[in-house]
Structure 1
Amino acid sequence: MSSRTAEHARQPSQRLLLKRFAMALGSYALVILLVLLAYALGLYQADGPALALNLLLLLLSQLVFLCLYLSGINQRLCDPSLTEAQVLVALAWLSLFLWHVPTARGALLGIYPLVMLFGAFQLRPWVFARCAALAWLLFAGMNGWDAYHLQLDSAPQALLQTAVLGVLLLWLSLFAVYVQDLRRRMMRRRSALLAHRDTLRGMMQQLEELAATDELTGLYNRRHFLQLAERALLTLQPGQRLGLALIDLDHFKRINDQHGHAAGDRALQAFAAVARVCLRDHDILARYGGEEFVLLLPECDAERLTACCERLRLAFSQAEPLEQPVQGLSLSAGMALLGPGDDLDRALHAADQALYRAKHEGRNRCLAAWTAGHVD
């Protein structure tokens, strides 16, 4: 089997069709046993070569179907399952077989419903009815021919057999209508369930985002930041470090007192907007509480962390909050570095101590935990 053929066979839809084809082959095998039994009992009114030719035609037809499945050509057809084609081939071959067993035809007429059941779950009702009508016409034609030309005395028996087959096929046609209607309802329910699942999945995602996000700034909240930071620490490789900074907006209480809480909210939002522009996509920034923010930089060193915090400080000093203009915006930052095995709480405490020093030394500056003075 070539790689392309194997690829077609591995497709879920093709695997299902191949399983159905294997079931059809199993049914053929059982019918062939009946053919051989009829031949052994002397009921098959043809010689051995004719029987061999009949079986050879069946084998060739099934090889054609198998090649269509394995090559994927069936996927380009209107009916990739080839159900109607398989039913028609089976009806033709079965009729050829029953033509040679006129005396046992009534005992074997039940094979026609067996063939039709193969299409009950796949064929559209009108297609199924068309195949059922063909099966009945084939059987009725054979019985009529034999009753008229060969065994006139068996005409009532042939008529009864034809009527019995007609009743069976009519019942199967009604059953196929019911099955297809049931299948359509199940498909509609499945579509509805999938739609509900997608809706629930979207709602769950929104809830997760709400649980992880600060409503005012749109940044991560403290709880989610701590989860992300712990996860980043666990994945650190030897030699890698994380940059950590606690950032506090200067004189925030004065902004609220002089300009109102709306101005304070605009200042917080202005910082979040500035940070989105200054930071990389994989940098993590969260609102830590009140006017305090926390920043985590992956694959960082002292120089990069310092440059990033200074860039944020300068950009924020030039920000102009919408609707509520506030003069003299500034921030202070305390910085720390983490390596593999470091404790996050201890690093946050070190950054907080550096931030305290920055506030104590006059604000509007970035100080590092690894130094005793200003990073500049």
Structure 2
Amino acid sequence: MGTGHLTIDLDALVANYKALAGMGSAEAAAVVKADGYGTGVSKTGRALMNAGARRFFVAVAEEGAALRQALGPNADICVFGGHMAGDTDMISDLGLVPMLNSLDQVLRHFEALPGHPFGIQLDTGMNRLGMEFSDWAAVADIALAQKPVLLMSHLACADEPDHPMNAHQLEEFRRMTDGTGVPRSLAATGGILLGPDYHFDMTRPGIGLYGGQPFNEARTVVQLDLPVIQTRSLEPGETVGYGNTWTAERPTTIATVSGGYADGITRHLSHKGALWHGDIPCPIRGRVSMDLIGVDITDLPEEPKALSLLNEHQGVDDIAGQTGTIGYEILTQLGLRYSRRYAGA
């Protein structure tokens, strides 16, 4: 097989969900936007539903349509992006629950779909989505009379437990929602780890489900193996890859593996990343190109058929740390050329 092979461990995904859900008494929804953070929402969504998740969050209505097809009628599917112009039929026909973010969305939803379930998203300081205090105060009585199913906000700095923004947003959320009698949600993965003060009625684990930080105890969900296409022996002074950016200083064996930035393997791994053969790291040599990567296998006891980029030794956050980004980006950029296998669940 000439393409990389992506294995998604559904048992690990379910274990991560149950661990995060078990950290408090709140209902645990599941965030499955961006095609289940790149893992494939049809399979992962069904596994999470079988594990007990009944409410799911997606970014936009189009993602909700794909999820509804996978899960059927018995899941609540909430849309972070709210009720956008042109989404009315989709929201109505598929039974999606928009998280209304603005006065315009409130008016659009109430006029187009009176009586259809909705939630409200409030801005407690992130300045991204949601109604600020003044807007919410202006419309709260009208909105609450229509019986929203959820009031929610989102923490900006939950991955930094000691950041003062966490306490500020908690206080602001309480100021905007105390006494409403409506179920509330503030915590995604990082917020869950901040403790029960942040849990309210529902939590929304996302990245932690898929093995990412800040959930340190998460089980590895994704493994990526890249087949070796060719090996070659280099003498000292020979170079590897575009631009001659790496030069051998000793007799070296280079494996050329199938994978590159067209597959979501960032070019920033050039010269600093490694692939693994079992427990042995093998350094990347030269530039990561569109379809191919050179890897130093000189010290291996045998010539491998494949090398692993993501595994129990090296997760998405390890690669993110090497390349100056975050694990979310590494995970959601996993390419479409990979063959995929779902294990467990």
TM-score tier (shorter): under 0.3
TM-score by length of 2: 0.22
**Which protein is richer in helix relative to its size?**
1
**Which protein is richer in strand relative to its size?**
2
- Greater relative contact order (CA < 8 Å, ≥ 6 in sequence): 2
